Amino acid sequence: MERQSFCFLFVQSTIHQIFSVSKAGPEQVSLKSIKITGAEIIDLRIPTSDQMLGSDPFHKMPDYSSAVLHLKTDSGLKGVSIVFTVGAGTDWICHGIQDLCQLVIGADLESLTESPITLYQRLIDHHQLRWLHDGVFRMAAGAILNAVFDLWAKAVRKPMWKLLVDLEPEFVVDCIDWRNIQDALTPEEALEILQRNRPALGRRQSDMQVQGPKAYCTAGWLGLSDQQILETIQNLQKQGFDSFKLKVGRDSEQDVERIRFMRDAIGPDCNLMVDANQYWGLEEAKRHIKRYLPFGLKWIEEPIARDDVLGYVELAETFKSASFGMACGEHAASPVIFKQLLKSRAIKYCQIDAVRVAGVNDIMAIVLMAAKYEIPICPHGGGIALCNMISHYGMWDQIAVAGHSETQLVEYIDFLQDAVEQPVKIQDGCYVAPTAHGWGLEFHPEFIERHRFPNGEVWKDRAANRKGAAFEVALK
C-alpha cells in the first residue's frame, strides 16, 4: 500500500460525515468558514522548585512550564496547545512555534483537516528547518498540529477523545507518516487493528464514560521528605489510587530504603514503580536494579538513556524473569525510536508523551505500533496540563485501538490542576471521561498573567536569576 493510498474524495467524505452530525450552535458551521487569523504564544512558568515538586536526579529544581499556543480565528474559536518544559528553554520553544505559525495563518480549518498528513509533512519536511530534526523543532511542530486538532474538535463540539474515536479507520491510517515504520507496522495492519474494534466501539465508549482510564501517581518526588511522601500516599489512597511511583537514582542506599518505605506504606497489593529519569549507564543500571528485586515492582522507568535501544534490549534480557519490565518513551522524540523499542520488545510499557513528538499524527503511529506488539500504553503526565491531553489518548486507545483497559495505567499529577478551567477529575482511582470540547487546555486568565515569564507577578523579584543556562544547580 502506498503511503497516501486513500483518495482525496474519501477524505473529504469522512470530514463531511464527522462534521454533519455536530453543531456549533443553532446553525451549522462550515469548517471552511473558520479561518486562522493570528497566533499568541505565551511563556508560562511556575516556580515548582520552591516546593521541590517534580524533582528527580537530573531535574533537581524544575519549574514546571509550558509554551502555550493560541491559534486565533475569525469565528472566535481558539485552537490551544502546549509544549511542556521544566523552566529554562521555554523561550526556545516559543520562538520555534512563532516561526512555524506562519505556515497556518491565513488557512481555513477545512484545508488543514481534510488531509492532516499534508500539514504534518509541510512542517516536518521543511527544506531547511528539517536539518534541526527532533527536539525543539519537532515539539514546536507538534504544538501547531495539536492546536489545529483542538480547533477542529471545538468546531465540531467534541472532546478530543470523541473526535479521535469517531474518525474512520482509513482516515486515521492516512494521518500517519509511514516512511520509516513499515518494517514494524504496515498500513494494512493498522487498518485491521482499528477495524476489528469497530463493532464494540459503542459498548467500549459507554464503559469508559462510566469509568475512565485507570490512573497512577508519583508520590515519591526526590526532594520530598518521607513524611511528605506518606501524606501524599494517604491523600491519593482516599481518592482510590492503588498505583504509585517513586523517583530513584541518586544514592543506592537511600533508594533501597525509600523503596522499602514506599512498599510498607502502600502494602503488598498495590502497584509500585520506580523512575530513574535516565540517570544511569547500562552497567550501573544493572547494579541498581538488582537491589530492587525483592520489592515486587511493576516497572523500572527510564533506567538509561531514552534512545539506547540496545541497552534496553540487554536490560530486558537480564531481568526477563523479574516481576517488573522496563518502561520508556516520555523522552523518545519520534515514532522511529518507538518502533525500535517496541519491535525489539525492549520495553513492556510504552510511555507516550503528548507534546514530545509531532502531535496527534505521531501519537497515532506509536499507539498503533504498541497495539500490534501488545505493549500497553501508559502515557506520561508529569507536567502542567499534560494530564488533560493524555486522558484523551488513554480514552482513544482503550476504546478504539487496544480496545480494553486491562493493562494500561495513565499518569496523574496531583498538583497544578487548578491552573486550567477544566481540570481533570479522578473517581475511584480512574480518570473521569473528559467532556470539554478539544483538549481542555484553557488556562485561567489570571493564572497566565501571574505566571508569564519574565514579567508576571510571581517572577518580578526572581526572573533575573532564572534565565536560561545561567540558572545552574549542582547535581551532587
Q: Which of 380, 392, 437, 451 is catalytic?
A: 380
Q: What whole-number distance in Å separates Cα of residue 342 and Cα of residue 2?
A: 23
What lies within 8 Å, CB to CB, of 189 at 6+ separation is 372
Which among 205, 111, 206, 109 has a CA at the least distance from the CA of 150? 109
Q: What whole-number distance in Å separates Cα of residue 145 and Cα of residue 299?
A: 32
Q: What whole-number distance in Å separates Cα of residue 34 and Cα of residue 19?
A: 13
Catalytic (active site) residue 247: yes
Q: Give the other-Cβ count within 10 Å of 330's Cβ.
A: 24
Residue 136, all three cell numbers: 525543539
Catalytic (active site) residue 127: no
Residue 286, all three cell numbers: 544493572
Which among 468, 458, 473, 460 has a CA at the least distance from the CA of 92? 468
3-state SS class at 340 = helix
Q: What whole-number distance in Å separates Cα of residue 139 and Cα of residue 356?
A: 6
Residue 419, all three cell numbers: 491552573
Q: What whole-number distance in Å separates Cα of residue 410 and Cα of residue 213?
A: 7
3-state SS class at 123 = helix
Q: Which of 247, 288, 298, 392 is catalytic?
A: 247
Q: Which residues pair with 350 in a beta bridge?
A: 328, 377
9: Cα within 13 Å, side-chain hemisphere: 0
Residues with catalytic function? 247, 380
